[in-house]
Amino acid sequence: MSMPEMNPVHSSNVESIGYDEENEIVYVRFLKDGSLYIYKGVSKPEYENLLYSTSIGSYINRNFKNVYPYERIE
């Protein structure tokens, strides 16, 4: 599984996000410790909602955590 291009975002918690459309996986790199998480089964419209949300961190907390299976990969 190769990592998609990561898009830098304006967020106090998140450095960048990326999307693997073929496998419906969102990649999120966090600022604090540089950790990289993947969220599985995320549709493209949901990824775009995240990308363009006014608060990336809040959007992840509200709409990704406890909704999509995730794991830390780095």
pLDDT in tens, 10-68: 999 999 999 999 999 999 999 999 999 999 999 999 999 999 999 999 999 999 999 99
pLDDT reading at 73 higher than 70: yes
Asked if residue 1 belongs to a domain, the reply is no
pLDDT at 26: 98
Tally of domains in the chain? 1
- What CA–CA distances, in Å, run from 39 to 13, 59, 65? 16, 13, 9
The predicted pLDDT at position 39 comes to: 98
2 occurs within a structural domain:
no
Domain ranges, residue 68: 7-72
Residue 65 belongs to a domain: yes
